[in-house]
Amino acid sequence: MPTDSTSTLTPALTARDLAVFFGSHQVLKNVSIDIAAKAVTAIIGPSGCGKSTFLRSLNRMHELVPEARMTGDIRLFGDDIYERNVEPVIVRRRVGMVFQKSNPFPTMSIAENVTVGLRLNGLRDKKLLTERTEQSLQMAALWDEVKDRLHAPAISLSGGQQQRLCIARALAVQPEVLLMDEPASALDPLATQKIEDLIIELKKDYTIVIVTHNMQQAARVSDFTAFFYLGELVEFGPTKKIFTNPSQKRTEDYVTGRFG
Amino acid sequence: MTAPNHSWRKFKNVFMQALALVCALLVVAPLVLVFYHLIKEGFSAINWAFFTQLPKPVGEPGGGMGNAIVGTFVVLAQAALLGVPVGVLGGVFLSEFGGSKLNWAIRFAADILNGVPSITWGIVVYALMVVPMKGFSALAGGVVLGMMMIPLVMRTTEEVLQLVPGGYREAALALGIAKWKTIVQIVIRTALKGIVTGVLLALARVAGETAPLLFTALGNQHWSHKLNEPISAMPLQIFNYAISPYDDWHRQAWAGALVLLLLVLSINVGVRFLTRDRFGARNH
Amino acid sequence: MDNHFESGLDSLRHKLLLMASHTETAVNQAVQALMQRDYDLALRVKADDDVIDRCEVEIDELAIQLLTKAPLATNLRLVTVAMKISQDLERIGDEASKIAKRARDLSQEPPVKIQLDLPLMAARALAMLKAALDAFVQHAPAAAREVIPCDKQVDALNKQIHAALVQHMVENPDAISRCLHWMVAAKSLERIADHATNIAEDVVFLWEAQDIRHTGIKNQGVAPTKPV
C-alpha cells in the first residue's frame, strides 16, 4: 500500500527526456511524462512504437535485454530509480509488473505463488504470510474461487484465473505502482471484463500503468492516455479528451483507425 | 471407386509395414540376445554369496563379487560428488550467464570432451593422480568417472534450463527477487526433474566404463577401506574373470555382467518413473 | 476492414444531406403554397413529410449500427451529431407540414388584405438552414457560428408580423380565424429558424468539439482564440 503521506497530486512516476537504446538502435526518444498517482494511465500506439519498452523502463526490466541503455531521468514519488547505488531489485519491489501471458510458477501451489515474492525476499512469519495471501487474493477478486483449494497446483486454474493469480502475486509484495503489459490480450471476453473491473477497483489504492493495443479497453478503464508513435510520446492527456477530441493529428488518425 | 493399381498399392503398404516391423525387431533383438545370454550363462552363479563374498583365490570355486559391487557404488558416489555440482553449475552458467562467444567456446569444448575415448580419460587421470600419489586409488577412479560426467551433465542441464520459459524468470525478477535466487528457486526448481534425469543417465553411462578404471582404480581382490587404495569395481572384475581360464570365474563374469546391466536398467526405469506424467496428459 | 466503417460514415453523411434536401424542398414548397394559395401543393407537402420521417429512422438505425463499432474522436462526434441533426431536420419537416396545413385552409377562404414580410422571413430561415448544412459539409465551423445571431433577426420579423396581424384582427374581426392561420405559419417559420440554429450549434460541436449550446447569445458569434 502506498504510504498515507502520498498526496494524489504528486505524480507517481515522472520521466524526463527518457531515451532508450538497444545497442545502436534508439527505441524511445525524448519521452517526458507525469504519471498520476492512484489513477490508471493507458499507453496506446501501433506495434513497435516503444510502448512496452517504456513500460519496462519504469521498473528497470528493459535492462534484461543485452546492450540496453537509457539516458534521462525517471523518478518514483521523487526517488531517482536509476541512481547509481539503487539496485533494480529494490525498484521492482516498489513497482510491480503483470505480463501478457500469465505465468504462475508451475512447481508451486496457489498459495505458494501468491507469497513467493515475500518468501524469497526473506519473510518467514507464517501468520503474516497467510494474512497476506488472503488479502492479495481478495484484492485480485480470486479469493472466493480458490479459498478451498489454496494448495492445489497453480496451473490447475483457468487462463483468466491464472492471470488474476499473477496480479495477486504482484500485489502481495505491496508495490506502490502496478505495471500491466497487455494483461487481458490472451483472455476471452468474459475474463477480460473481470480483469478490467479489477483494474478499476485497484486504482483506488494503486497507481496503474497499462499497455494495451485495444483502444476500447483504454477508453473503458483509464483516466489518462498516452499515445506513442515511432518511439515518441505524441500526445498525453485525459482519456476523454484523447478519444473524443485529440489535439494531434497523428493521434486522431490512429484513434479513428486510419493507420495502425 | 477402386483405382486400377489399387491391389499394387495395397501390397506396397503391407510390404512396407512388414519391413518396418522387421527392422524394429532387429533393433530390439540385440537387447533380447544380451539378456538371454546373460541369464542363461550367469543366472546360475547368482546367489547370496555372489553379493556378499570376496573373490576366492585362484582355483578355488565359489566366492563372489561383493567387493566389486560395493566398489562400483563407492566410485559412482565419488563421481557424482564431482560431476554433479560442477556439471550442474556449469550448465547453469551456460544457460543463465556468460557472453555468447564464451558460451559457444565452452559448449564446443564440452561436445568434444563427450566424444573423447574413455581410455584417454583413464590415461590422463593416471598421469594426474596415480603417478603423483604413487599408487592406484578409489579416489582416482571416482575422479576420472566424475570428469567424464561433467560435460555430459553440463550439456543436459543447460538444455533443460533453456526449456524453462523466459516468462518465469521475468515474473520472478519483476517481483524483486534477486537473480541468483530466481535461478535456484524458480528456474532450477522448475527444471529439477530434467536435471535429475540428466544426472542419472550420466551415472548410468559411466557405471559401465572399464578402461578408465583400469588406469585408476585398478581393482582389488579384497574389501578396500581407504579411498587412496585401489578398489574393485564391477566392470574391472568382469574383465578379469572373463579373460581368466576358469569356468567358475567365467560364470561369475556373466553374472556380474547381468547384475551390471540390471543396475543400469533400474536407473533408466527409475528415471522413467520420476519423469512420469502424473495426470496422463502428455503422450510418451 | 476500415473501409467498411468509412463507407458507413460516408453513407451516414449522404443520407443526412439527402434528408436535408428533402426538408429544404418541403419548406420552400410550403411557403410557396401559402403565398400562392396552392391547394394541391399544400397537400403534396403534407404527404411528402413521410419521406422525411423515414429518413430520420434510417439515419438513426445506421448511426446505432456505427456506434457498435465504437467510433472515436471525430467519427464519434459525427455519429452523435448526425442523430441530432436528423431529429432537427425532422422537426423542420413537421413545421413545414404545419405551414402546408395552414396554406391548405387559407386557400379555401378569401385572401386577407395585408402585407406581410413572410417571404422574407422564410428566405432568412431557409438561408440559415442552408448555411448550417454547408458548414457541415465543408468543415467550416466559423460559418456555422455566423448562423446563430441570424436567429434574432427572424425572431424580430416574427414579432413584427405578429404585431401587424394583431392590429389587423382588431380592425377586422371577421378576418380573425384567417389571421390566426397566418400567425401559426409565421410561428412555424420562427421554429424552423430555431432548429436551423440548433443544427449550426451541432456543426460547431462536430468540427471544434465545443458545445456552445445554452451559452449567452453574446458569446456565440465568435470562436474562442484557443480551443481548449
User: pLDDT tens for residues A201-231?
Assistant: 999 999 999 999 999 999 999 999 999 999 9
Residue A6 has pLDDT above 70, yes or no: no
- pLDDT confidence tier of residue B218, bands split at 50, 70 and 90: confident
Q: Taking CB atoms and an 8 Å limit, are A121 and B177 in contact across chains?
A: yes
Interval C193-215 mean pLDDT: 93
Q: How confident is the model at residue B257, as a pLDDT?
A: 87
Chain A residues in contact with C76 (beta carbon < 8 A)? 243-244
Interval C94-113 mean pLDDT: 94
Interval B223-242 mean pLDDT: 84
B256 to B51, B65, B212, B222, B249: CA distances (angstroms): 10, 7, 18, 16, 10
Which residues make beta-bridge pairs with A43?
A: A211, A226
**Mutating which of A97, A114, A181 best tests the B interface, going by the most B Cβ atoms within 10 A?**
A97
Which residues make beta-bridge pairs with A236?
A: A226
Q: Taking CB atoms and an 8 Å limit, are C77 and A245 in contact across chains?
A: yes
Q: How confident is the model at residue C90, as a pLDDT?
A: 97
Q: How many CB pairs lie under 8 A apart between chains A and B? A: 62
Answer whether B217's CB lies under 8 Å from B75's CB.
yes
Interval A160-181 mean pLDDT: 96
CA distance to partner chain A, nearest, from residue B94 (Å): 15
Q: How confident is the model at residue B2, as a pLDDT?
A: 67
Three-state helix/strand/coil letters over C70-102 = CCCHHHHHHHHHHHHHHHHHHHHHHHHHHHHHH
CA distance to partner chain B, nearest, from residue A192 (Å): 20
- pLDDT confidence tier of residue C226, bands split at 50, 70 and 90: very low
**Mutating which of C66, C72, C76, C81 best tests the A interface, going by the most A Cβ atoms within 10 A?**
C72
Interval C59-72 mean pLDDT: 93
Q: How confident is the model at residue B282, as a pLDDT?
A: 44
Residue A136 has pLDDT above 70, yes or no: yes
Residue A131 has pLDDT above 80, yes or no: yes
Measured distance between the N- and C-terminal CA atoms of chain B, rounded to whole angstroms: 38
User: pLDDT tens for residues A29-38?
Assistant: 999 999 999 9
Q: Which of B178-192, B213-227, C80-94 has the lowest mean pLDDT?
A: B213-227
Q: Do chains B and C touch (3 or more CB pairs under 8 A)?
A: no
Q: Taking CB atoms and an 8 Å limit, are A258 and C2 in contact across chains?
A: yes
Q: How confident is the model at residue A255, as a pLDDT?
A: 92
Interval B6-14 mean pLDDT: 92
Taking every pair of Cα atoms in chain B, the longest distance, rounded to a whole number of angstroms, is 83
Taking the C-alpha atoms of residue C97 and residue C45, their distance in angstroms, rounded to an integer, is 6
Answer whether C20's CB lies under 8 Å from C203's CB.
no
Chain A residues in contact with C77 (beta carbon < 8 A)? 244-245
- pLDDT confidence tier of residue B246, bands split at 50, 70 and 90: confident
Answer whether A163's CB lies under 8 Å from A98's CB.
yes
**Residue C77 near chain A (CB below 8 Å):** yes
Whole-number mean pLDDT of chain A?
A: 92
Q: How confident is the model at residue B67, as a pLDDT?
A: 82
**Residue C228 near chain A (CB below 8 Å):** no
Contact residues, C window 152-211, toward A, CB-based 8 Å cutoff: 209
Contact residues, B window 175-234, toward A, CB-based 8 Å cutoff: 175-178, 181, 185-186, 189-190, 192
Taking every pair of Cα atoms in chain A, the longest distance, rounded to a whole number of angstroms, is 56
Taking the C-alpha atoms of residue B149 and residue B167, their distance in angstroms, rounded to an integer, is 31
**Residue A117 near chain B (CB below 8 Å):** yes
Q: How confident is the model at residue A8, as a pLDDT?
A: 54
Q: Do chains A and C touch (3 or more CB pairs under 8 A)?
A: yes
Q: How confident is the model at residue A177, as a pLDDT?
A: 96
Report which listed range, A110-124, B203-217, C204-218, is most confident: A110-124
Extended beta strands in A199-249, E state: 207-211, 224-229, 232-238
pLDDT > 70 in chain C, percent: 93
User: pLDDT tens for residues A67-120?
Assistant: 899 999 999 999 999 998 999 999 999 999 999 999 999 999 999 999 999 999
Chain B residues in contact with A159 (beta carbon < 8 A)? none
Q: Taking CB atoms and an 8 Å limit, are A244 and C76 in contact across chains?
A: yes
Q: How confident is the model at residue B251, as a pLDDT?
A: 82
Which residues make beta-bridge pairs with A166?
A: none
Give helix B234-242 / helix B66-96 axis angle, nearest 10°. 130
Q: Taking CB atoms and an 8 Å limit, are B175 and A99 in contact across chains?
A: no
Whole-number mean pLDDT of chain B?
A: 87
Interval C106-111 mean pLDDT: 92
Q: How confident is the model at residue B98, as a pLDDT?
A: 75
What was the ipTM of the complex prediction? 0.91
**Residue C76 near chain A (CB below 8 Å):** yes
Taking the C-alpha atoms of residue B152 and residue B159, their distance in angstroms, rounded to an integer, is 11
**Residue A47 near chain C (CB below 8 Å):** no
User: pLDDT tens for residues B158-196?
Assistant: 999 999 999 999 999 999 999 999 999 999 999 998 999
Q: How confident is the model at residue B278, as a pLDDT?
A: 59
pLDDT > 90 in chain A, percent: 88
Q: Taking CB atoms and an 8 Å limit, are C73 and A216 in contact across chains?
A: no
C154 to A141, B15, C159: CA distances (angstroms): 61, 100, 9
Q: How confident is the model at residue B281, as a pLDDT?
A: 43
Q: How confident is the model at residue C146, as a pLDDT?
A: 95
**Residue A240 near chain C (CB below 8 Å):** no
Q: How confident is the model at residue C188, as a pLDDT?
A: 96
Q: How confident is the model at residue B225, as a pLDDT?
A: 78
Interval C134-148 mean pLDDT: 93
Residue C1 has pLDDT above 70, yes or no: no
Of all helices (H) and strands (E), which one includes residue C20?
Answer: helix C2-36
Q: How confident is the model at residue C228, as a pLDDT?
A: 43
**Mutating which of A242, A244, A247, A258 best tests the C interface, going by the most C Cβ atoms within 10 A?**
A244
**What's chain C's length in residues?**
228
- pLDDT confidence tier of residue A260, bands split at 50, 70 and 90: low
Of A91, A96, A105, the CB nearest to B186: A105
pTM, to two decimals = 0.81
Of all helices (H) and strands (E), which one includes residue A73?
Answer: strand A68-76
Interval B234-250 mean pLDDT: 85
Whole-number mean pLDDT of chain C?
A: 91
Q: How confident is the model at residue B280, as a pLDDT?
A: 44
Residue C220 has pLDDT above 70, yes or no: no
Which domains does chain B show, CATH number per domain? 61-274 (1.10.3720.10)
For CA atoms A185, A191, A197, A202, the dihedral sign is negative
User: pLDDT tens for residues B132-149?
Assistant: 888 888 888 899 999 999
- pLDDT confidence tier of residue C218, bands split at 50, 70 and 90: very low
Q: Is the pLDDT higher at A128 or at B63? A: A128
Q: Taking CB atoms and an 8 Å limit, are B173 and A120 in contact across chains?
A: no
**Residue C70 near chain A (CB below 8 Å):** yes
Residue B124 has pLDDT above 80, yes or no: yes
Interval C197-219 mean pLDDT: 85
- pLDDT confidence tier of residue A2, bands split at 50, 70 and 90: very low
Chain C residues in contact with A255 (beta carbon < 8 A)? 72-73
Answer whether C181's CB lies under 8 Å from C105's CB.
yes
All residues at 6 or more sequence positions from B2 whose CB lies less than 8 Å from its CB, including other chains: none
- pLDDT confidence tier of residue B86, bands split at 50, 70 and 90: very high
**Mutating which of A215, A241, A245, A247 best tests the C interface, going by the most C Cβ atoms within 10 A?**
A245
Residue A4 has pLDDT above 50, yes or no: no
Contacts 24+ apart (CB under 8 A), B43-50: B43/B255, B43/B258, B44/B251, B45/B248, B45/B251, B45/B252, B45/B254, B45/B255, B46/B255, B46/B258, B46/B259, B50/B252, B50/B255, B50/B259
**Residue C7 near chain A (CB below 8 Å):** no
User: pLDDT tens for residues C41-62?
Assistant: 999 999 999 999 999 999 999 9
Residue B46 has pLDDT above 80, yes or no: no
**Residue A243 near chain C (CB below 8 Å):** yes
For CA atoms C65, C70, C75, C78, the dihedral sign is positive
